[in-house]
A = this chain, B = another copy of it.
Amino acid sequence: MSLSSPIAYEDAASRIFGAALVDGRAWEKLAFLCDRIGPRLSGSPQLERAVRWSAERMRLDGADKVWTEPVMVPHWIRGFERARIESPIDWRMELLALGGSVATPAGGVYGAVVEVVDLDELSALGDSVRGKIVLFNRAIVSGFDGENGYGSASGLRVDGPSAAARQGAIATLIRSLGTANFRLAHTGALRYADDAPRIPAAAISAEDAELIHRLIASGSIVRVRLELGCQTLPDAESANVLAELTGRERPDEIVLIAAHLDSWDVGQGAHDDGAGCAMVMETMALLARLETRPRRTIRAVLFTNEENGARGGRDYAARHGDDRHVVALETDSGAGPPIGFGVSAGPGGVEWVRQIADRLAVIGADQVAPRGGGADIGPLEEFGVPLMSLMQDPTHYFDWHHTHADTLDKVDRAALDRNVAALAVMTFALAERESTVPRPEPARIDR
CB distance from A215 to the nearest CB of B (A): 6
Interface assignment of A89: CB less than 8 Å from any CB of chain B = yes
CB distance from A95 to the nearest CB of B (A): 12
Task: Tell me the complex Cα distance, A400–B183, Å.
Answer: 10
- Name the one of B35, B183, B211, B410 contacting A35, with C-beta atoms under 8 angstroms: B211
Q: Which residues of B contact A410 (CB under 8 A)?
A: 181
Within 8 A of B (CB), among A179-211: 180-184, 206-207, 210-211
- Name the one of B91, B181, B400, B404 contacting A38, with C-beta atoms under 8 angstroms: B91
Measured as residues with beta carbon below 8 angstroms from the partner, the interface class of chain A is 20 to 34
Within 8 A of B (CB), among A146-186: 180-184
Task: Tell me the complex Cα distance, A181–B410, Å.
Answer: 9
Task: Tell me the complex Cα distance, A182–B182, Å.
Answer: 6
Provide the A25-56 mask, 1 if CB < 8 A to any CB of B, else 0. Answer: 00000010001101000000000000000000
Q: Which residues of B contact A427 (CB under 8 A)?
A: none
CB distance from A347 to the nearest CB of B (A): 45
Is B89 in contact with A407, judged by CB distance below 8 angstroms?
A: no
Interface assignment of A244: CB less than 8 Å from any CB of chain B = no
Q: Can you name the residue of chain B whose Cβ is closest to the Cβ of A35?
A: B214
Interface assignment of A409: CB less than 8 Å from any CB of chain B = yes
Known contacts: A180-B182, A214-B31. The answer to whether A207 contacts B36 by CB under 8 A is no
8 A-B residue pairs with CB within 8 Å = A35-B214, A94-B404, A181-B409, A182-B405, A183-B405, A206-B409, A210-B409, A211-B407
